Amino acid sequence: MDGKQVLNSQYLKSLRREYGLSQEALADACERKCLRISIATIKRAETGKAVNYRTTKNLAAFYGIEVNDLIMLPDSEEKESTTCQERLGVVALFKASDVEVYSYALARIESYQPLLIEKYGTYIVAAFGRYSSAIQDENNFSQSKQTLSCMFDLFNEIKSRSSILSPFCCLVNVTTILCQESQFFLDKKQLTALIETSHDMPYNTFIVSESLRALHLQQFHFTALNDSVKPDWWQLDVMNSLPSGPYFIGRDVELEQVKRQIAESTLTNKSKVIGIWGEQGIGKTCFLHQLSETIQQDGLITGWIDIEKNESNVIRELKQGSADIVFIDNVHLLSEQGMQILHEAVVEIADRVLTVIVTATVADKARVQRHIQVDASLILPALTASECRLLVSQYSGSHLPEEMAEKIVSKCQGNPLYLSLLLSSHDLATVPDTLQLLFEEQLAVLSQEDRNVLKILAIANKPLRLEDIRALLSEKIDISTLYQTHLVIPYGVDQLTVAHDLIADALSQSLASSEKLYLHRQLAEYFEKTNIPNNLTELQWLADQFLAAGLDFKAAYYLGRCGNLQLAEGQYSDAEEAIKAAEKLLGNLRLKGFDTGTVSQAQCVDLELDLMFYLANIYKVRYGWFSPSLIELYNRIIEKCDISQSEHRKINALFGVWTVALTRLDIDKAIYYADKALELAELLDDDAGRVLSLAALANTSFWAGDAQRTYEYSSRALECCDDELRESSLELAGHDPRMLAWCFKLLSASQLGLENCESMMLDMVDESRKGGHVFSIAIALQGAAWYYWHEQNPEKSLQYARELVDISREYGFPFYIGMGSIIEGWAAYQLDPSPRHIETLVTGYQRWLSSSGFCLTQSMYSLLLSQVLVDDSQYDLAVKVIEQSVRDASETGAQCYVPDMLFLMGKIKNNDEYISQALAHEACTPLLKRQIEMYEH
């Protein structure tokens, strides 16, 4: 990469307009996010002129998209990419753990005929087109309900029949839907982000994104979520009785023009195709709806074709429909194949007296007309200022100050959609005047030496020490003349930087690609040798320099180190982004055939394994061990280890596969993989592998109900840990390797009735706090809260459980939020018997553990819940919970807490037979025997 690219100008403009921003407002918004982009640079990018990589990167960061999404493809790639098209759609995510609720919701959502529907564990994800009105005849004229209304109806129906044990939630958002050969699918990254967002949302609520709220302010009433939840999401409460909107203003002339065209078609008995063109958000769809209402009053029948659902059905719907006028909204969303199908359909119905009205963006007008003969055209212009003022008053009544209203009118550029978005915006500050620096004359009179200094500073994009500049240029530097031009300014002690981004941009633009490549490489290699990077900022800068120099392997290496450092510091989202970017660079290198520089395939495989393990550690923390992404990743790692004969790394991969088997409660497989990993670790004399394998065996034995083996395995694991191993594990795995083994040693010691358990617990928590690594602290806090539940000490248990929930929410650990919540619900109820604490317990399990530890923790959850239900006198429900959990345990082999549940069942039913079964059970612990003895006495 030479650091200079031409961006997709049309896409850039559409992104900016979707955000409702002028070029000046975009520059200001970027500045507030510390993304330095001048107005001049934005203009260059949007007019198809080349910009530097930093600008591309900053624009992508602002819009939250990939850098490559902005770069204009070469003609050959552009042609290939047309086979997969993008379109905006409404995506609904429904989450329910209850099987009956899930099945009912799935059937109802399928009845809405979405473009696609996918199932992910407890999630249902459905995508709908924005324009989903099927063709209608005179006997069936009622327009299909909008997606929001349909999903809200479903939400209210399920809410009325749900119980405390079956919480659920629904999220609806506008996002990109991909289409290839009439098949629809969602981008995996966007899908993962949506599922991750659902983790932060309260249960039994209907949540919509800010973009949807802005478009439907008139139809629904929204309530802001509390401060702890993401601010860009709103709770939908009720449907309003206000006019449906958006308000229709200022199109009388255009309506009359189209009506005349329709009348002419009727009089001449000839079919006609009318094209209505307009920018995004100008009101094309609203215009069609108003036109439909108007011509229905004249006795004409109108119909709609949903081109997004199935392009191949266009001919059938046109031929079989009985409408006089057919609307095909946003026809530009059709693929090339779909355009051809529509052309054939129009030709086939030429003998009918039928008016077909299509809409498309102005940019797509020529493309549409290449395929379809359009008999009459109409371009919808921007609204006038007076029309915009009227629209503002319709939306907001008299509540908006006049000064604010005028700002909105001036900024919306006559676009109704931008206007509605601005009305919902929280930031309408006056856009500052652009600072224009006139420095071309100064550049022209500079000496070559001074120009070289400026080039280095511009390419570096950060302050540099004079000592480093002299070393890079291999010459003495007198910067007094340069200071007088005000093109550079001093920074800190003996450092220099360019005075303004515009100077850096202009210098960068003026350099030839080859010179920029050389300078980026010179900077990267110099600082790699002389200043060993030891913090995130330096690593990121070095990665950027190598990337701009076209050295993909080095860039991937330093991005991987960035991700690794972020992982160790608990910055999991940033770590994932950095590591995936590094993986992408390695993929590019493979495509080049490893013929650049001295990089070998073996080096790439080695780095790729590093990145995959980093990513696996992130997935475990962020998405839980039951994540499909994690399962797929570990399979790739094992395959890569076998190919490269990386035996030491295979131990880690086997540990990963073990986690998957355990979370699925396949106890036999979990023991098999842990034993295999331990066997390999012993063969290689690998202490780190021993710790992992023994901790895995301890964990598995605990859930299988074997406290003695749990204690033995965890004790052996801790004996293998030394300071060096702890440090390396923190660097490579992102957590203290002792904590998991320590946690299960504590819990098994408690079950075995051993002495000094509390002292062991306090040592574990203290050690985790000394280390300061948040994931390790979370494991220790979990162990402490869990231990005090064993000991039936609600005060202490609540203290640690709440701290666990707080730290896990802050750093995004769904599994530990769930574990903390279920223990918190139990402990809080013991101290304050309120139903809200039962809800905390239930939603903690259903919401947070459903995607990360649903099966694994079922026995623990069932015991906690049934204990609380008994205290709440809900005996029948407690019996139901226990019976189901005992049945499940008999199938999976997860016998942990089964004797405890049998004991509780005996107390509920006052039946000694259950208590005898508990005592005779192979998983009955000395702790439980002691509790039964106290009960009987």
182-193 residue pLDDT tens: 678 787 667 777
The pLDDT assigned to 345 comes to: 78
pLDDT in tens, 159-210: 877 666 777 888 888 777 877 766 787 876 677 777 777 766 777 888 888 7
Question: For residues 444 and 924, which has the higher predicted lDDT (pLDDT)?
Answer: 924
pLDDT in tens, 574-584: 888 888 889 88
- The better pLDDT of the pair 305, 561 is held by 561
With 90 as the cut, is the pLDDT of residue 761 above it?
yes
599, two tokens:
């990089």
Instruction: Kindly report, residue by residue over 421-475, the tens digit of the pLDDT.
Output: 566 543 443 322 333 334 555 566 678 888 888 888 888 888 888 888 888 887 7
The residue length of the chain stands at 937
Structure token digits, residue 819:
């574990």
Helices 628-644 and 601-622 sit at what angle, rounded to 10 degrees? Answer: 150
Question: Is-contact 819 849, C-beta < 8 A?
Answer: yes
Are 20 and 425 within 8 A, CB to CB?
Answer: yes
pLDDT tens digit string along 813-840?
Answer: 878 888 999 999 999 999 999 888 988 8
- Per-residue pLDDT band for 747 (boundaries 50, 70, 90) equals very high
Contact 277, 360 (CB under 8 A): yes
Contact yes or no for 683/653 (Cβ under 8 A): no
What's the CA gap between 819 and 832, in Å, rounded? 20
Q: Using CA atoms, how far apart are residues 404 and 393, in angstroms rounded to an integer?
A: 12
The answer to whether 808 and 816 are in contact (CB under 8 A) is yes
Other beta carbons within 10 Å of 119: 11
The mean pLDDT value of the chain amounts to 79
Give the span between the Cα atoms of 611 and 536, in whole angstroms.
Answer: 17
Find tokens 């000839």 and name the residue: 270
**What is the Cα–Cα distance from 60 to 49, expressed in whole angstroms?**
17
Cβ of 613: how many Cβ atoms within 10 Å? 22
Helix (H) or strand (E) holding 377: strand 376-379
CA atoms within 13 A on the CB side of 46: 19
* E strand residue ranges, 636-788: none
Identify residue 728 by its one-letter amino acid code: S
Tokens at 696, concatenated: 């895995």
| CA 837/CA 843 separation, integer angstroms | 10
The DSSP letter of residue 295 is H
DSSP assigned state of 848: I
Q: Which two tokens stand for residue 410?
A: 């001036």
Whether 709 shows a pLDDT value over 90: the answer reads yes
Token couple for 572: 């999991």
27 CB neighbour count, 10 Å cutoff: 23
Q: 738-752 and 757-771 are packed helices; what angle lies between their axes, rounded to 10 degrees?
A: 170
Element spanning 173, H or E: strand 168-180
The one-letter amino acid code at 691 reads V
- Give the full edge-to-edge strand order of the sheet including 488-490: 464-465, 495-498, 488-490
| pLDDT level of residue 43 (50, 70, 90 thresholds) | confident
Which helix H or strand E contains 223, and what residues bound it? strand 220-224
pTM tops 0.75: no
Contact present, 28 and 432 (Cβ < 8 Å): yes
Q: Check residues 235 and 510 and name the one with the higher pLDDT.
A: 235
Q: What is the pLDDT of residue 404?
A: 76
Please, which pLDDT band fits residue 739 given cuts at 50, 70 and 90? very high
Question: 4: helix, coil or strand?
Answer: strand
pLDDT one-digit tens code per residue, 518-564: 999 999 889 888 876 667 888 889 999 999 988 889 999 999 888 88
Cβ(178)–Cβ(186) below 8 Å: yes
Q: What are the counts of helices (DSSP H) followed by strands (DSSP E) for the chain?
A: 44, 18
Q: CA-CA distances (angstroms) from residue 801 to 289, 863, 900?
A: 55, 17, 21
What is the tens place of the pLDDT at every residue in 598-644?
Answer: 677 778 888 888 888 888 888 776 666 656 677 778 878 888 887 77
pLDDT above 90 (res 869) = yes
Return the structure tokens found at 225: 């979520």
Strands 272-277 and 325-328, by their bridges, are unpaired
What are the beta bridge partners of residue 180? 84, 183
Share of the chain above pLDDT 70, in %: 81
Longest Cα–Cα distance of the chain, Å, equals: 100
